[in-house]
């Protein structure tokens, strides 16, 4: 592994030397010997002056292959495009697969998008405009219109001729979709079926009429689930009249799953973007402050709640020792239940029956965990302080808090999902703070009831 890394670093140094010393032939030989993903990784490491040289060495079409493999944020995309000549950048975008070009253009403002579209050839611009009209994060926004379609009344031989002609511009050829005269989706044929069938065989004889598709307006997560569940390499996208509009390929779905997982993780952590490559602490703080301020006020509510039981705490000071323990246990239990519920929602198990099962399971888990922890802490407190009632109070508070925390942790995301709100917004810090409030209320409420029997 270390040797491979050294070889890669040496190759990158040779590339940079060839680029800076105007050794075009040597540079192109080395550069195109690398995978397009590695080309993209090397590209983002370059200084602006080196990238300016690269734009001279590569054609818009060659640069398009690099841009399709870039893992860059909005600011970086804008920077790269601004470094290029406008016509060069427009031609590069036109050479990209339409869905990838749309991903790039979605990072820009409307004025910039309009400028690049104006500089493109009409056919490419029209294709990209159509995809830009679809709402972001829907199937329409991630589909590509570069696919091969045939008719059921064709022979295999004629279908193969179409495939050979259109394959260079198609994003995938492993599935060929069959349409009728009105472009309605009628079936699908795999490349393997076409290869092994006789030339004179009709497409209608070998096509699979059971075709799974998604509406152009559905959420991209729904499309991702369908491809994951059925192990598709591509999924057709249709309108309400079942007309074939485009396809979603597996590489786009991998990106969607990665984005959604990153987004959910960020929200669970109470930040806006865990993958953000912030340039400095001020940018990171700006994104995290809104959540921290919300949690600050919730924390103040917790402090205010404790203040209402000041007399109880004054009379039995030892009660305050166990507040962090009970609040921490409740917060951890709620976060665990939250993670389980969000996972179930993410994989599509969000019907009413499943939701009830999740709630009952988490309530049972909270009961069992609370009982065991309650018994343990009762024994520990009794052995430590010699006060059985105090031990029972702390143990009972933990039991009740863990049950409530488990149910709340599962219920909050399920309810939010029912109201079409992203359940990941019920982040770990948020649910932990809510459970702090609930657990402290339970603990000090019980303490107030038994205050006369407790020793100070």
Question: For all residues of the chain together, what is the average pLDDT?
Answer: 85
Q: Is the pLDDT of residue 86 over 90?
A: yes
CB 239 within 8 A of CB 215: yes
Looking at residue 416, what is its pLDDT?
80
Average pLDDT, stretch 124-152? 91
Cα–Cα distances in angstroms (integers) from residue 66 to residues 82, 145, 197, in the given order: 16, 20, 37
Q: Is the pLDDT of residue 85 over 70?
A: yes
Q: Is the pLDDT of residue 36 over 80?
A: yes
Please indicate whether residue 43 or residue 266 has the higher confidence score (pLDDT): 43
Q: Which residue in this structure is represented by tokens 């511009």?
A: 169
Percent above pLDDT 90 for the chain: 43
Please state whether the predicted TM-score (pTM) of the whole model is above 0.95. Answer: no
Average pLDDT, stretch 393-409? 92
pLDDT in tens, 297-307: 877 887 887 88
Query: What does the block give as tokens for 293?
Result: 């301020």
Looking at residue 303, what is its pLDDT?
81
Q: Which residues pair with 214 in a beta bridge?
A: 237
pLDDT band at 349 (very low <50, low <70, confident <90, very high): low
Q: Which residues pair with 100 in a beta bridge?
A: none
Percent above pLDDT 70 for the chain: 88
Q: Which of left, alpha, beta for 353 (phi over 0: left; psi -120 to 50: alpha)?
A: alpha
Q: Is the pLDDT of residue 60 over 90?
A: yes
Q: CB within 8 A of 363, min separation 6: which ones? A: 403, 406, 407
Average pLDDT, stretch 31-53? 90
pLDDT in tens, 195-238: 999 999 999 999 999 999 999 999 998 899 899 889 999 999 99
Looking at residue 10, what is its pLDDT?
82
Strand pairing report for 214-215 and 185-190? unpaired
Looking at residue 368, what is its pLDDT?
95
Average pLDDT, stretch 19-28? 90
Looking at residue 68, what is its pLDDT?
86
Q: Is the pLDDT of residue 451 over 80?
A: no
Q: Is the pLDDT of residue 55 over 60?
A: yes
Looking at residue 255, what is its pLDDT?
82
Looking at residue 273, what is its pLDDT?
55
Task: Give the Cα separation of 294 and 314 in Å (integer).
Answer: 30
Q: Which residue in this structure is represented by tokens 């409740």?
A: 330
Main-chain dihedrals φ then ψ at residue 70, nearest 5 degrees: -80, 140
Please indicate whether residue 174 or residue 433 has the higher confidence score (pLDDT): 174
pLDDT band at 275 (very low <50, low <70, confident <90, very high): very low
Average pLDDT, stretch 340-366? 79
pLDDT in tens, 236-248: 999 999 999 999 9
């Amino acid at each position: 592994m270390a040797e491979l890394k050294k070889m890669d670093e040496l190759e990158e140094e040779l590339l940079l030397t060839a680029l800076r010393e105007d050794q075009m032939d040597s540079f192109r030989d080395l550069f195109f010997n690398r995978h397009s993903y590695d080309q993209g990784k090397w590209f983002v490491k370059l200084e602006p002056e080196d990238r300016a040289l690269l734009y001279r060495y590569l054609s818009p079409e060659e640069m398009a292959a690099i841009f399709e493999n870039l893992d860059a944020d909005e600011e970086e995309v804008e920077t790269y495009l601004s470094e290029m000549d406008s016509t060069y950048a427009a031609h590069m975008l036109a050479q990209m697969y339409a869905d990838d070009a749309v991903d790039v253009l979605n990072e820009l403002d409307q004025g910039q998008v309009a400028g690049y579209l104006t500089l493109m050839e009409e056919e490419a611009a029209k294709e990209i405009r159509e995809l830009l009209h679809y709402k972001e994060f829907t199937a329409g926004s991630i589909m590509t219109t570069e696919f091969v379609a045939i008719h059921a009344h064709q022979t295999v031989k004629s279908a193969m001729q179409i495939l050979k002609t259109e394959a260079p511009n198609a994003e995938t050829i492993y599935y060929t979709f069959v349409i009728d005269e009105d472009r309605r989706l009628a079936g699908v044929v795999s490349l393997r079926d076409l290869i092994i069938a006789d030339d004179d065989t009709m497409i209608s004889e070998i096509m699979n009429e059971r075709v799974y598709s998604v509406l152009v307006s559905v959420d991209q997560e729904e499309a991702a689930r369908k491809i994951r569940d059925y192990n598709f390499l591509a999924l057709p996208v249709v309108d309400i009249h079942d007309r074939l509009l485009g396809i979603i390929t597996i590489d786009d779905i991998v990106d969607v799953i990665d984005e959604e997982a990153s987004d959910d993780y960020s929200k669970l952590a109470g930040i806006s973007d865990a993958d953000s490559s912030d340039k400095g602490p001020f940018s990171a703080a700006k994104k995290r402050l809104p959540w921290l301020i919300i949690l600050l006020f919730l924390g103040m509510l917790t402090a205010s709640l404790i203040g209402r039981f000041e007399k109880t705490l004054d009379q039995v000071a030892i009660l305050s020792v166990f507040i962090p323990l009970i609040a921490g246990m409740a917060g951890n239990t709620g976060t665990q239940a939250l993670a389980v519920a969000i996972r179930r929602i993410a994989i599509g198990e969000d019907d009413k029956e499943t939701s009830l099962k999740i709630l009952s399971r988490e309530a049972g888990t909270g009961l069992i965990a609370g009982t065991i922890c309650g018994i343990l802490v009762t024994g520990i407190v009794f052995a430590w302080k010699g006060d059985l009632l105090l031990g029972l109070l702390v143990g009972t508070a933990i039991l009740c808090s863990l049950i409530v925390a488990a149910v709340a942790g599962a219920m909050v995301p399920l309810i939010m999902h029912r109201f079409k709100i992203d359940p990941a917004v019920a982040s770990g810090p948020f649910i932990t703070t809510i459970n702090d409030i609930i657990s402290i209320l339970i603990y000090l409420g019980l303490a107030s009831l038994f205050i006369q029997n407790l020793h100070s």
